[in-house]
Structure 1
Amino acid sequence: MTITQPDLSVFETVESEVRSYCRGWPTVFDRAQGAHMYDEDGHTYLDFFAGAGSLNYGHNNPVLKRALLDYLERDGVTHGLDMSTTAKRAFLETFQRTILAPRGLDHKVMFPGPTGTNAVEAALKLARKVKGRESIVSFTNAFHGMSLGSLAVTGNAFKRAGAGIPLVHGTPMPFDDYLDGTTADFVWFERLLEDQGSGLNKPAAVIVETVQGEGGINVARADWLRALQDLCKRHDMLLIVDDIQMGCGRTGPFFSFEDAGIKPDIITLSKSIGGYGLPMALTLFKPELDIWAPGEHNGTFRGNNPAFVTATAAIETYWNDAQMEKQTLARGEQVEQALRAIAEEHSEAVAGYRGRGLAWGLEFHDKDRAGQICKRAFELGLLLEDCGPQSETVKLLPSLTITPEELDEGLRTLARAVRETA
């Protein structure tokens, strides 16, 4: 692909240096549809990024777009704080009937604000309020958001450094297989909990991702998650599952923890819960935990009614049966086969590959290689990002609605980018 130099002057002179994704993809995007994005010069890019997991149903999904346009054209309420609206009622009824009830979940639904970190902040605040304790346990290589409470339970040193103040009341523990199987699961954690001389303040809760996205696509085993739930119950700690990136079908089932057979006390959702890429977040919790006073946690944009509309349409379209889950798992097998072939072809360079559903990572021994591959992939018309504590892993997050042909095209491009950066 020949890419002419785009006019980036206004971004470089007016926008803050904090901008990041645009540096890896130096073009000006103009429109998007399905699994593709198009820049202002007409170049086409196959999207294996999907808005960092916010576009599970693709760009400008026609069913969701129609529902949104119909709502806007009839002057439906756009901004509603936490007022009762027809759009919110339709979402709550659909979410309860189609998602929660069939999974045996009676969790209350809270709208904490429109982003994932808002959902995490609400979860942490509620856990501390319920238990009357300050400490929260998180895991190595975790990522839970960029606000201060979320950063305190995030592992990445670069992101934590941006806080500018001490990040307190968070204690990290080893994630599944962090010690390469040399230590039994939770032996250190449980010893600290039981030892009066350990110095560990008794935690209010434990927060975990079943698949760590930003941390490098680290997949927790089902039995590890079940053991964690059991540990929390035995030591009177709440279990929070952060399903912001891996929920809404990303790993196959709607919730990423379903295969493990656990029922978290608190669940956070954002990114693709809105369906169309519109900002929306949920904090779900068991009814007995709902001890909030009215307005004790709020946010001006917690009532994003257009997002309620597209969220409802997404659930009604894709989650009334098991077809989406089956399709995602089938696409995941397609990705796994391709990554296995790449790993075999480049056995000296590839440190491993792993994933679930349509969340996969390809890790390299050379910590700079993943970034080089993502850059070359962009030149070839494929959008990828890297992840992991040293950005050593290429992350694949295509939309769940991608076709087998589009997925195969992107995987071939990835294989080519790996070869051409050797």
Structure 2
Amino acid sequence: MTITPPALSVFEALESEVRSYCRGWPAVFDRAQGSHMYDEDGHTYLDFFAGAGSLNYGHNNPVLKRALIDYIERDGVTHGLDMSTTAKRAFLESFQNNILRPRDLPYKVMFPGPTGTNAVEAALKLARKVKGRESIVSFTNAFHGMSLGSLAVTGNAFKRAGAGIPLVHGTPMPFDNYFDGTVEDFLWFERLLEDQGSGLNKPAAVIVETVQGEGGINVARPEWLRALAELCERQDMLLIVDDIQMGCGRTGAFFSFEEAGITPDIVTVSKSISGYGMPMSLTLFKPELDIWEPGEHNGTFRGNNPAFVTAAATLDTYWADGQMEKQTLARGEQVEQALRAICEEQSGVHFRGRGLVWGMEFEDKPRASAVCKRAFELGLLVETSGPESEVVKLLPALTISPEDLDEGLRTLARAVRETA
């Protein structure tokens, strides 16, 4: 497929230089359905990006679209702050019945604002309020958002530099396998906590991703996560799991921490919780942590009622019978086999992942961007991740058909071969 980049346009003339995805995908997109996007020139693209994980159920999912249209056509409440509405009630009941109760999770639900970083900011504020301490421990290569509190617990130097001010009250520790298995898990962390001369302020909480998405698809082992949970309990620290990109079924189970058998104190959820790509986020926490004063943390758009509608429809449609998890794991095996074949054929390429989030790391780091560029030319949307953009990241919709998944994987294999 030949792609002609759009001529100088209103995007380049008026939009800020901060724009990014459009530079790697020089097309003007017009329509989207399922796992495909279509540009205004009639080209079709298979989407292995899924709105950076916000479209786990595909573009314009017909079940969710119908629920949304019906709600809008009857003049359902659109903007409701934190007022009680029928849409919010339907979501909360569905979330309790389909997600929390079957997993015996006790969480209270907070609507902190419409984006993932809003959920993280609320989690950090609550942890500090509960424990009366300022320090938060995060991990190498973590990414938790672009607002200042979230950046303070983010590892990427480029993103941190954008803050323009010192980022304080955060302490990084090594993520799982940071030393390639040569150092005992949490040896350094626990030694600092117990040494009165270490200079480490007692942390209020630890925040972690079970799979680091932006950090390069770094997968934490279940035993590492269990040991972290036990450390937090021993040392009187809260455990926050950031499930913004890896939750809502991306790794198989609805929450990515389920495989490890842990129950975090606080969980942040966003991206695909609305199911339709509309802004929505949750901060979940154990009931005993709910010490907020009314209005102590708020936001004008914390009550996105159309998102509540599609979120409830998503949970009722895809999470009532356990089939979604089985399908995701089966699709994940399909991806794993294809990536193994690519890496066996190509030297200097390695893969890793869980469920339907996978990454291919290139020892020749610039090659990852070249693969993404060639994939776009061939009609496949994939992005890079990792501290030096050295990983090609795969995030297909959970609802993708085996045929579309196979087509995309063949296209990816071609892009890898043609950039060797």
Could you tell me the TM-score, scaled by structure 2's length?
1.00
Structure 2 counterpart of 1:188: 188
Structure 2 counterpart of 1:257: 257
Query: How many Å apart are 1:313 and its aligned residue?
Result: 0.3
**What secondary structure, in the 3-state scheme, does the structure 2 residue paired with 1:249 have?**
coil
- Structure 1 residues 325-364: aligned runs within 5 Å: 325-347=325-347, 349-350=348-349, 352-364=350-362
Structure 2 counterpart of 1:87: 87
Report if the CA contact (8 A) 1:46-1:382 is conserved.
yes
- Structure 1 residues 97-116: aligned runs within 5 Å: 97-116=97-116
Report if the CA contact (8 A) 1:140-1:172 is conserved.
yes
Structure 2 counterpart of 1:201: 201
Cα distance in 2 for partners of 1:260, 1:321 equals: 21
Structure 2 counterpart of 1:121: 121
Cα distance in 1 for partners of 2:5, 2:343 equals: 34
Structure 2 counterpart of 1:245: 245
Report if the CA contact (8 A) 1:130-1:289 is conserved.
yes
Query: How many Å apart are 1:9 and its aligned residue?
Result: 1.2
Cα distance in 1 for partners of 2:234, 2:328 equals: 35
1:387 counterpart (362, 385, 399): 385
Describe the superposition over 1:308-331 as per-residue Cα deviations: whole angstroms up to 9, x where unpaired.
Answer: 000000000000011100000000
1:167 maps to 2:167: yes
Describe the superposition over 1:56-99 as per-residue Cα deviations: whole angstroms up to 9, x where unpaired.
Answer: 00000000000000000000000000000000000001101110
Cα distance in 2 for partners of 1:246, 1:402 equals: 17
Cα distance in 2 for partners of 1:117, 1:385 equals: 21
**What secondary structure, in the 3-state scheme, does the structure 2 residue paired with 1:331 have?**
helix
Q: Which amino acid aligns with 1:95?
A: F
Report if the CA contact (8 A) 1:332-1:356 is conserved.
yes
Q: Which amino acid aligns with 1:59?
A: H
Structure 2 counterpart of 1:224: 224
Report if the CA contact (8 A) 1:108-1:284 is conserved.
yes
Q: Which amino acid aligns with 1:111?
A: F
Describe the superposition over 1:103-157 as per-residue Cα deviations: whole angstroms up to 9, x where unpaired.
Answer: 1111000000000000000000000000000000000000000000000000000
**What secondary structure, in the 3-state scheme, does the structure 2 residue paired with 1:275 have?**
coil
Cα distance in 1 for partners of 2:60, 2:97 equals: 26
Report if the CA contact (8 A) 1:95-1:315 is conserved.
yes
Structure 1 counterpart of 2:418: 420
Query: How many Å apart are 1:8 and its aligned residue?
Result: 4.6
Cα distance in 1 for partners of 2:38, 2:417 equals: 25
Cα distance in 2 for partners of 1:304, 1:155 equals: 31
Query: How many Å apart are 1:170 and its aligned residue?
Result: 0.2
Structure 1 counterpart of 2:404: 406
Structure 2 counterpart of 1:50: 50
Cα distance in 2 for partners of 1:340, 1:300 equals: 47
**What secondary structure, in the 3-state scheme, does the structure 2 residue paired with 1:92 have?**
helix
Query: How many Å apart are 1:7 and its aligned residue?
Result: 3.9
Describe the superposition over 1:239-266 as per-residue Cα deviations: whole angstroms up to 9, x where unpaired.
Answer: 0000000000000000000010000000
1:302 maps to 2:302: yes
Cα distance in 2 for partners of 1:195, 1:382 equals: 52
Describe the superposition over 1:278-330 as per-residue Cα deviations: whole angstroms up to 9, x where unpaired.
Answer: 00000000000000000000000000000000000000000001110000000
Q: How many residues align?
A: 420
Query: How many Å apart are 1:397 and its aligned residue?
Result: 0.2
**What secondary structure, in the 3-state scheme, does the structure 2 residue paired with 1:138 have?**
strand
Report if the CA contact (8 A) 1:47-1:384 is conserved.
yes
Structure 1 counterpart of 2:368: 370
Alignment RMSD, CA only? 0.5
Cα distance in 1 for partners of 2:18, 2:121 equals: 23
Q: Which amino acid aligns with 2:241?
A: V
Q: Which amino acid aligns with 1:269?
A: V
Query: How many Å apart are 1:200 and its aligned residue?
Result: 0.1
Cα distance in 2 for partners of 1:409, 1:234 equals: 49
User: Percent identity at matched positions?
Assistant: 85
Structure 1 counterpart of 2:179: 179
1:151 maps to 2:154: no
Cα distance in 1 for partners of 2:417, 2:116 equals: 36
Query: How many Å apart are 1:382 and its aligned residue?
Result: 0.1
Q: Which amino acid aligns with 1:280?
A: M
Cα distance in 2 for partners of 1:77, 1:190 equals: 50
Cα distance in 1 for partners of 2:267, 2:365 equals: 33
Cα distance in 2 for partners of 1:2, 1:360 equals: 27
Cα distance in 1 for partners of 2:126, 2:7 equals: 47
Describe the superposition over 1:4-56 as per-residue Cα deviations: whole angstroms up to 9, x where unpaired.
Answer: 33245111010000000000000000000000000001100000000000000
Report if the CA contact (8 A) 1:119-1:281 is conserved.
yes
Describe the superposition over 1:209-258 as per-residue Cα deviations: whole angstroms up to 9, x where unpaired.
Answer: 00000000000000000000000000000000000000000000000000
Runs of 5+ consecutive residues of structure 2 not aligned to the other structure: none
Could you tell me the TM-score, scaled by structure 1's length?
0.99
Structure 2 counterpart of 1:5: 5
**What secondary structure, in the 3-state scheme, does the structure 2 residue paired with 1:251 have?**
coil
Describe the superposition over 1:196-219 as per-residue Cα deviations: whole angstroms up to 9, x where unpaired.
Answer: 000000000000000000000000
**What secondary structure, in the 3-state scheme, does the structure 2 residue paired with 1:5 have?**
coil
Misfit runs of 4+, over 6 Å: none
Q: Which amino acid aligns with 1:403?
A: S
Runs of 5+ consecutive residues of structure 1 not aligned to the other structure: none
Cα distance in 1 for partners of 2:145, 2:123 equals: 12
**What secondary structure, in the 3-state scheme, does the structure 1 residue paired with 2:263 have?**
coil
Report if the CA contact (8 A) 1:8-1:28 is conserved.
no
Q: Which amino acid aligns with 2:96?
A: Q
